[in-house]
Structure 1
C-alpha cells in the first residue's frame, strides 16, 4: 500500500532511530568502582563496564575520553569517601593522624585501588580537597611550604604503601601469620638469638605496623618543624 505523501519515517526526516538511553556519569563511575572492588583493575575495561550497565562502549565514550580517564574518575570517587574534619582535632598531630587513618580505612574498603593511586598523582576535585586540607593544617601549624609539601607526600606514601598490602583476605592473612610465628619459634636460638627473643611479638599485625609507623612519622615531623623554626 503506497504511503501517504505526508508520512515520513525517521530516515526520511533526517532523524536517527532512538538508541540506548544515556547512562548518568555517576552511575557509570559507581559500576566501574564495583568491578574494581570485585575483580581488580585488570578486569575494568570499557567493554566489561558496558556489559554490566547493559549499555555500549559508545555510550561510555560520551563521558570519558579513555579508560585512563575513567580510572582517574573512579580514583577521585574513592577520595570523595574520605570523611574527616581536621579542624575537630586538638592538635595538628592529631589532625594529621586522623586524615591518614581515614584515607587508610577508605582504601581498606577498596583494596584494589591503591595500585591505581600509586601510578599517577590524583588531581581530581575530591583529591584536591583532601590535599588542600592536609596542607592547610600543616601550614597553619607553622610548617614552611617546602616542609609542608614533603610532610604531606610522606604521609600519603605511608598510607599508600600499607594499603597496597591489603589485597590478601583476613582469613588468609591470619593463617600466614600463624605459619610465620610457628616457623620463627622453631629457629635455633644459638644461630638466631635475637629473632627467637622477639618471636612472641612477630609477625606484627599490619594495622599495628601502620599506626606505629604513622606515630613515628608525625613525631619526626614535629622535630623537623621545631628545628626549622629555630634555624
Structure 2
C-alpha cells in the first residue's frame, strides 16, 4: 500500500493533481488497473488515501495539543499543514475534492476540536473554527504553485511597485517598500487575525 501511495504522490508532484488517475497509477507501477481496484474502489478512494498520508505527517500527540492551549494548537495544525503543502505544491487541489475523513485527518480534527471545547468554545463555534482554519490553509496552499517558481521574479515586481507614480497611486506608493508581500508572510499575518477573531468569539465580544 505504501508503494502505491508513494507512486500516486509522484504523479501529483510531477504532473499535477489532475493527472492522477487509476490508469496513470497502474502505468507508473507497471501493473493493471484491476490490481488497483482491489485496493481502491475508485479514484476518490485513492485520493482519500493520498490526502490522509499527508495529514499523517503532522506529528503531534493529543497530550502535546492539550498542553499547548487552544491558540498554539490551532497555530500548530495550520502551520503543519501549510508546511506539508508547501513541500508538495501540486497536492492542494486534492484536498479540495473532498472532506478528509481518513484516520490521520480524523485524529487531527479530533485533537484540535477537543482543545477548543476544553477551552470554552461552544460546539458549533468549535466546528466552525476548525473548518475555517482548514479552508484558510487550503486557500493559501492552492496559491503556492505559482509562488517561488522559476518564472517568478519578486525583485522585478518590487522595483515596479517602487516606480509607480505617487500622484496617480499615492496609497500604493506610500507602502511600495513593503511590496510585494511574501505569501508566507501573508499566511502568518492572516492566521494571527483569524486566531484573534476566534478569541473574541470565545469571549462573547
TM bucket normalised to smaller? over 0.9
Whose radius of gyration is greater, 1 or 2? 1
Q: In angstroms, what is the RMSD of aligned CA positions?
A: 1.7
Query: Which 4+ residue blocks in structure 1 deviate beyond 6 angstroms?
Result: none
Which of 78, 95, 103 is matched with 1:100 structurally?
A: 78
1:70 aligned to 34, 37, 46, which one? 46
Query: How many residues were matched structurally?
Result: 203
Deviation for aligned residue 1:208: 0.5
- Whether the 8 Å contact between 2:65 and 2:111 is mirrored in structure 1 is no
Distance of 2:151 and 2:125 partners within structure 1: 37
Gaps of 5+ in 2: none
| Partner in structure 1 of residue 166 of structure 2 | 189
Answer 1 or 2: higher relative contact order, Cα 8 Å, separation at least 6. 2
- 1:88 offset after TM fit, Å? 6.5
Alignment of 1:213 with 2:190, yes or no, is: yes
Contact 1:114 1:163 in 2 (8 A): yes
Match of 1:57 in 2: 33
1:118 to 2:115 alignment: no
Q: Is 2:4 the counterpart of 1:28?
A: yes
Displacement of 1:169 after TM fit?
5.5
TM-score, L = length of structure 2: 0.92
Q: 1:89 to 1:183 in 2, by over 3 A?
A: farther
Q: Is the 8 A contact 1:41 1:112 kept in 2?
A: yes
Point out where structure 1 has 5 or more consecutive residues left out of the alignment: 1-24
**Hey, which of these two has a bigger chunk of helix by percent?**
2
TM-score by length of 1: 0.82
CA contact under 8 A between 2:69 and 2:115: conserved in structure 1? no
2:113 corresponds to: 135
Equivalent in the alignment of 1:44: 20
1:125: Cα distance to partner? 1.3
